[in-house]
Amino acid sequence: MRRRVLILEGTCGAGKSTLLKRLSETTQVGSVWTQKTTYGPIVLDEDKGTLDDSLNFSILQRLTMRLEDELQQQNRGLVLDTFHITQYLRPGVLTKKSFTAIDQKLESLGARIVFLTMSKDDIAERTILQRKHTGFFNYIQKYGSTVEQLVEYFSREQEQMKHVLKELSCLPVTLIPESASVEMRCHTSLELLNINTTI
Q: What is the pLDDT of residues 39-57, one digit of tens each?
A: 999 988 988 999 999 999 9
Q: Is residue 60 part of a domain?
A: yes
pLDDT for residue 198 is more than 50? no
Question: What percentage of the chain's residues is helix, strand, coil (to nearest 5)?
Answer: 60, 15, 30
pLDDT of residue 195: 52
Q: Is residue 96 part of a domain?
A: yes
Q: Is residue 106 part of a domain?
A: yes
Q: Write out the residue range of the structural domain in which residue 61 sits.
A: 5-117+172-191
All residues at 6 or more sequence positions from 117 whose CB lies less than 8 Å from its CB, including other chains: 10, 14, 158, 175, 176, 177, 178
Q: Is residue 92 part of a domain?
A: yes
Q: Is residue 105 part of a domain?
A: yes
What percent of the chain has a predicted confidence (pLDDT) above 70? 96
Residue 23, classified by CB atoms within 10 Å of its CB into exposed (0-12), middle (13-18) or buried (19+), is buried
pLDDT of residue 35: 95
Banded pLDDT at 75 (limits 50, 70, 90): confident
pLDDT of residue 67: 95
Give the chain's mean pLDDT: 92
> 104: how many CB neighbours lie within 10 A of its CB?
13
Q: Is residue 154 part of a domain?
A: no
pLDDT of residue 14: 95
Residue 76, classified by CB atoms within 10 Å of its CB into exposed (0-12), middle (13-18) or buried (19+), is middle
Banded pLDDT at 91 (limits 50, 70, 90): confident
Q: Is residue 143 part of a domain?
A: no
pLDDT for residue 173 is more than 90? yes
User: Which conformational region is residue 146 in: left (phi greater than 0), alpha (psi within -120 to 50 degrees), or beta?
Assistant: beta
pLDDT of residue 3: 66
Q: Is residue 94 part of a domain?
A: yes
- Report the CATH number at residue 31: 3.40.50.300
How many domains, the chain?
1
Q: Give residue-wise pLDDT tens across range 102-155.
A: 999 999 999 999 999 999 999 999 999 998 889 888 888 889 999 999 999 999
